[in-house]
Chain A
Amino acid sequence: MLTAISNGITYIINMGASVMLPIVIAIISICLGIKVGKAIRSGLMIGVGFVGLSLIVNMMNDNLGPAAQAMSERFGLSLKVVDIGWPGASPMTWASSIATVAIPVAVGVNLIMLFLKLTKTVNIDIWNIWHMTFTGAIAYTVTGNFWIGILGVVIHAAISYKLGDLWAPLMEDYFELDGLTVPHGTSAYMAPIACVFDALIDKIPGLNKIDISADTLQEKIGVFGEPVVIGGILGTVVGFLAGYGPSEALPLGVKMAAVMVLMPKIVKCIMDGLMPLSERAKELLTKKYGDTAKFYIGLDPAILLGDSQVVTAGLIFIPLTLAIAMIVPGNQILPFGDLATISFFIAIAVAVHKGNLFRTLFSGSAIMFMTIWIANQSIPWLTALSKATGTTDGTSLVAALDQGGCPITYIFTEIFSRDNIPGMFVIAGIYVFCMFFAIRCSKKRAAEVEARQNAEAEENA
């Protein structure tokens, strides 16, 4: 009997993620009291997302890959690995064998930390648990040890919630989001770097007086800030730089515009499938911890992206990230999939600088530099993950700035793989150093918020 069950499970696992996860999600959804028909639909939507992603990533690699390589050869660059971005990395993570266990583990770590009063962040953002899962999935793929993978999820989750606490005063101070925070694998993880730059620029006479903010750039740029146009231009330009004639460069541009437009539509299928699950989890968590006076509700950084300084910085960093990619020593990655959403990397940095774009330019550049460098180290890991999940056949290398460039994922996996120990110590050293400044920055801003509230209370009295 038991062997029959385990044979059955192995049989399903062997059919790959596009079959396994839909079944698992449908079963979990039914267990949570969702109607059978709806649960099956949810499961199938996830499968659709996986199938669609595989199509699009392969098309991107087949077309943009050779062009990037030809361009690199002509100009002596090394940008031959295409960045698939978070729209490529997140479905691979959900497709990994660790994913279904990772959701309860990440929520469980949150509940335990809340119970032990180690955090005030209540994360109701189930989608972005993929960031935590990514650390686990990569570590599992590299080491082959399931428990190291789970440990990766636990560590990434615990740090995320602590970062949620850390950034809560800035959410209130700059974004006016009282009682909310963003315990996110990219925004929250990269912002400590900005705290160092903020403290540094504060000390430099002259520079510390410069304050630039720009609300109008978005209107001036117009459609040039839209993913479809970014994809089209980038594809065409890379085509021409690769030495293609117009008959090859222009189709490449149209194809890359298609990737930019279709990618989120495909990834949305996975979100659709996870909806019943994430809505139910949200309901249960807010019922118990919905009091924003005592807790910070952890949400997706999407809530920060409406801020005009964040939008403007995101636009400036499209060309800037490409420029940085040229100067990072030994960089092999052509930034692409994350270009339209660079704001995810720098949203909290903008709040650290109180919307001062001048400072965001410096810290954002440092953030992207570090991200690109780390993402280079994780190319073999991500390629292995994409092969293990059946997204690609593993012949062409893939990279992802988001989350392949995450310091914690890198440090954690490197502890076990040990193929670049000096690199690990340098990144770990920099990151710990930045954390000290982050804690100082958080305390300072919390004090400012409190002082302002006291002053207001006195005025009203």
Chain B
Amino acid sequence: MLIRRSEARAARQRLSEAYRGLSAGGLGRRGFLRQAGLGAAGLAALGSLAPGRAEAAGAMGVIDHAQPVQRIKNLCTHCSVGCTVIAEVQNGVWVGQEPAWESPINRGTHCAKGAAVRELVSGERRLKYPMKLVDGEWRRLSWDQAIEEIGAGLLRIREQSGPDAVFWLGSAKFSNEGAYLFRKMAAFWGTNSADHQARICHSTTVAGVANTWGYGAQTNSYNDIRNSRTIIIIGGNPAEAHPVSMQHVLAGRELNRANLIVFDPRFTRTAAHATEYVRIRPGTDIPIAWGLLWHVFRNGWEDKEFIRSRVYGMEEVRKEVERWTPQEVERVTGVPPAQMERVARLLATEKPATVVWCMGATQKTVGTANVRALCALLLATGNIGAEGTGANIFRGHCNVQGATDAGLDVVTLPYYYGLDENAWRHWCRVWEVDYDWMLSRFASKKLMETPGIPTTRWFDATLLPPDQIEQPSPLKAMMVFGHGGNTVTRMPDMVKGLEALEMLVVADPHPTTYAQVAPRRNNTWLLPICTQFETSGSRTASNRSLQWGERIVAPIFESKDDYEVLYLLARRLGFAEPMFKNIRVENNHPSPEDILREINRGSLSTGYSGQSPERLKLHMANQQHFDLVTLRGKEGTPVAGDYYGLPWPCWGTPEMKHPGSHILYNTNLHVKEGGGTFRARFGVERNGETLLAEGSFSKGSEIQDGYPEFTVALLKRLGWYEELTEHEREVIRRIGGENEDRVSWSTDLSFGIIRVAMEHGCVPYGNAKARALAWNLPDPVPVHREPIYTPRTDLLPPRDLMAVGGGTATPPPGTYPALPDRRGFRLPVEYQSRQLRSFDVARDYPIILTSGRLVEYEGGGEETRSNKWLAELQQDMFVEINPADAQARGIRDGQWVQVRGPEMPEGRWVRVKALVTERVGRGVAFMPFHFGGWFMGEDRRRFYPPGTDPIVLGESVNAVTTYGYDPVTGMQETKVTLCQIRAA
């Protein structure tokens, strides 16, 4: 049947002609086939008995081309790139997914997860109705009953142990509105122990970056990477974790012939596309940063003018960098000097350059210090605050940025106001509740202003002796919304913590690991929550753009959205009325638009104030009018001048029409056009040295030098106070009372201060220097510290030095111990006293274990492992092991092996498949973190409620991972520990 292109038509004709003698002729293909042949009808009937077709249309809808199709835009619920999803809907059923060509972020494309999201709402394996455990059996119950039981249980625990005995674990899968509502819920309940996945992904980024230049977020955008000439990716694997971002990275690489340099212990899929791949020993990011800076300073490649005018404390960095000679860097990291010099030269001379990092940098005991070292790298080379530069931090979940901003965090109220009395008073004003009433919700004013317990340590707060926990009672109950249980390290301890809880509530589309991993028999409830495709709301992508997702279908089965469940709970707990005072609730459904409007009113500090639901919806409807690279709305369109998704800060009220800020700290633009400066957040001077910018200011600024953040006092000094309207002054007076002068741009609910500052071209938050030296952190200038479990005990001080009183603060030269032991987040934190174990452990556990993402799965993986289209692609949990290590252990590719970490219970191993590959270097093993359902050799499938077990189960890497926490944020150590591997 050789048919050439030009003859295709004719050839098919010939095919039919060949059979014409046997048919009536002139029929369509089906017609002549039906009539052809001897006794065809009879034979055909037999034929239908034969093995059937490949396709079986399941419960999922099938498009009917005769009927009209509705196209609805929502957003992918997986990573933080923010890909628009276009759903085709017929009769309330999601029947097809189409490329969203208009979106400037994904331009029609998806990764494996995004291209498979439709499966989530057919949800064969979803949790279908509320359930609870009764003597180890899962029982169905009604929503009313579930809310009643949970509410009564919570109130009983509050009565007995106080509000801090309940841990509220939220989710980066919430919409902004859901995250905000959840944080508000915790506040109304009376605790600060409300956390979410940011703790375990980029909390150290937020802390490190915010402490450097003001805000904890990606400074530029995915799209802006198209402008870069040098792209350094360290501790990140966007090809698997953020595939759609690679569209911009690779395009940038191609268009500019840019250098793409990947630092990683693994030769990742990203590294495969790099112009230079640098293999490092896990846990040596700071030596890498300082090693690069050593060459920069040595050769005078630093941006001296930038440092002079916009950076504080670079001299201190320079002193630390001097220790990191190429030889020392090679000794510690394993990277040859010539390669370091080559990369340093590119970074400093082939500009603009950007540094991209992910959890390889952040999920460390030195996460915050890592981040700050990378910031210093950018500051020293002047690669920040302009197109093609910046800290392009790729966040993890679809709304982890937004949920972080919304204060779903143990250290702050929404939008980074902190926890002090001013912050509480600000939010009480926004919520229109009395501050004293709010105070009465808490156990004490001290606890009201003390950071809560982070998700990485909640089980310690359940298990440790009460005298070691700085609150009236250990944790007794846990409310988990949209969070996997296998995402925290030290799972064997976590399981004990779960067992000890009096009450556990899991609200999620899937039961999650929490539902089955512990031997609980009672007092465990599962609430079916719908996905974000079954509700509406805004989400903030990594680049700070907000996008509005429209409900595609109604919640399936008996599931409800977060808003409704939080409302029902608040009602049962008795504070729905004050909590939803300004939010319209219809039929138990709070309006997400109203929630966003409340956010707009209160979030002045972060510039979440201009993104009204109307503006966001306008952007979604006009996606095609935004420029691919600048993200700016084109002239003559309804969104002219706006940046796509109004990336925060979007100053002032929606009516002020601020376009959002595509690139943070960009002095080349007027503040009204999205320009900015480094934030004046840490005072105006220190030790006689100014902290304000010197001679640097954003375009059009009337103050042509540094200035502090705007307050009424500053306005008055500048003589601009009179420009406030009477109404604005009235509001300010009401807020300030006696101390009107102290009302600042971020607490002025009239937005007058912001308005006036911007009129004069000034950035409301001031104009300061970025801090290369952050004196408030444990290591003001980052210093290298070996991981808690390190194979390089030769880089630790002598044992006895570390063994005394929690460790030494002044280690001998050439040694890099962890910090001395300390306390944080209401709990004790071990450093050197735990690190001491390395001396004993390193011999029996010779392989460094690191962990990371797979493209097919996300997070704890319950959702994606339940998606049949994704699950098929990764059917087994595995460990990547170098061929040399495999050979030494007699391990073949694909066989079962056992892996054990130093903190696992005696005799227990996890059972996984071996993937023998040169991706990992000798002495390093890698395991993905998305698996669960097996626990230390035991298949726990039977403990899921029937029909809700994910298709693919496997051991969780966190059964193997070990102790270790960042001192600033409580971030867990997932990237460096030790393990042993043996053939099973």
| A-B interaction | no
The residues of B with any CB-CB pair to A shorter than 8 Å are none
